[in-house]
Amino acid sequence: MKHLVTGGSGFLGNLIARRLQERGEDVSILDIWEDPTRPKDIQFIQCDIRDREGVAKAMKGIDIVHHNVALVPLTKSGNKFWEVNVKGSQIAAEEAVKAGVQSFIHMSSSALFGDCQCPINNDTPTKAVEIYGRAKLAGEIAVREVCEQGNLPLIVIRPRTILGEGRLGIFQILFEWIQEGRNVYVIGDGNIKFQFIHALDLMDAYLLALDLGKPGIYNVGTDRFGTLREGLENLIAYAGTKSQVKSLPTGLTINTLRILDLVGLSPLAPWHYLTYHKEFYFDVNPLLELGWKPKYSNDEMFRESYDWFQKNYDKLLAEKAGSAHRRPVKEKLLWVLKKFS
């Protein structure tokens, strides 16, 4: 089988491409930047997902498309969210139909459910609350419409917030503050059930859906999790530092972060400060019934990610990886809060 992984140099696309390559599949990556650690038997195609001609050329002879290209919240890309996450996804699906591929797998997001009653399942109405979530929702809808009209089988994967080795982004700030014994903060009291997913468990669910060949929507999160405050306190206890979890007033904090975001002084995107004080978890029973079993609890994935961060941070700073979820982020004005923590 020939596979094309769009966004294959990013955090998830890279994992998917390597998993497929390890299984002996013929794998190509389409991305705007090349990961220097890419296995040489994985072909690299440098192409912007908005380049229809380039995408069409990359689709020739492909059996399965794994669509992972997306601008993530940390990029704060404004209108480009729509260009890449919506129009780019539509182009990928349309060219896949034209190329006669057998199946299309679309990496979506839990940001479609910015403010919903939990547990979330496939009957839960989508309710994105910020620009990234709205773009991911529109992109998923566009892909579904194209695939339905073109009779192209579609699998949609919606992961919860991802942890695991190599996953940095906003977690870099959290891990660094804990390592230094600084206080860490939650919006509100933090006593809300909050679910994460380990990257390797996500890959197991992803490949299960691929192997089953059953079109549909798959919501993926761990089945063992507690509250956000508990997760942070357990990580601090594991790290053995003097950090404490402190609560910030909800309304004042969100409004302050919104202003700082607008003037470019905060690393946090609307997806972070508008949702991380709200309960958020998927009903994963449908996946469990298919035979999937996550190996990691919230606590276990936090510990592993923190250990990896400590061992590799200096190296990561030197490498300056090109993917937003594979590199550290700047604290900006949060360093002031850090100094008083």
Give the model confidence (pLDDT) of 187-240 as tens digits. Answer: 999 999 999 999 999 999 999 999 999 999 999 999 999 999 999 999 999 999
pLDDT in tens, 13-63: 999 999 999 999 999 999 999 999 999 999 999 999 999 999 999 999 999
> Going by C-beta distance under 8 Å and a sequence separation of 6 or more, which residues neighbour residue 145?
none
pLDDT of 33 reads 95
Please say whether the dihedral angle defined by the alpha carbons of residues 137, 223, 280 and 15, taken in this order, is positive or negative: negative
Is pLDDT of 303 > 70?
Answer: yes
CATH number for the region 166-194+226-279+297-339 comes to: 3.90.25.10
pLDDT band at 77 (very low <50, low <70, confident <90, very high): confident
For the chain, residues classed under CATH 3.40.50.720 are: 2-162+195-220
Give the mean model confidence (pLDDT) for residues 236-258.
96
pLDDT in tens, 119-154: 999 999 999 999 999 999 999 999 999 999 999 999
pLDDT of 317 reads 66
pLDDT band at 319 (very low <50, low <70, confident <90, very high): low
- CATH 3.10.20.30, applies to 2-162+195-220: no
CA distance linking residue 68 with residue 258, whole number of Å: 28
pLDDT band at 177 (very low <50, low <70, confident <90, very high): very high
pLDDT of 120 reads 98
CA distance linking residue 158 with residue 108, whole number of Å: 5
Query: What whole-number percentage of the chain has pLDDT above 70?
Result: 92
19: region left, alpha or beta (phi > 0 left; psi from -120 to 50 alpha): alpha
pLDDT of 322 reads 47
* Cβ atoms of residues 51 and 71 within 8 Å: no
CA distance linking residue 56 with residue 94, whole number of Å: 9
- Write down the mean pLDDT value for the chain: 92
Bridge partners, 6 (sequence order): 30, 67
Query: pTM for this structure?
Result: 0.91
Higher pLDDT, 259 or 224: 224
How many angstroms separate the first and last alpha carbons of the chain? 53
For the chain, residues classed under CATH 3.90.25.10 are: 166-194+226-279+297-339
Give the mean model confidence (pLDDT) for residues 75-85.
92
Q: Alpha helices, DSSP H only, in 150-290?
A: 171-179, 199-212, 228-239, 250-262, 270-273, 285-289
Please report where in the chains the tokens 């939990």 appear, as a residue: 118
CA distance linking residue 235 with residue 253, whole number of Å: 23
Quote the longest CA-to-CA distance of the chain. Answer: 58
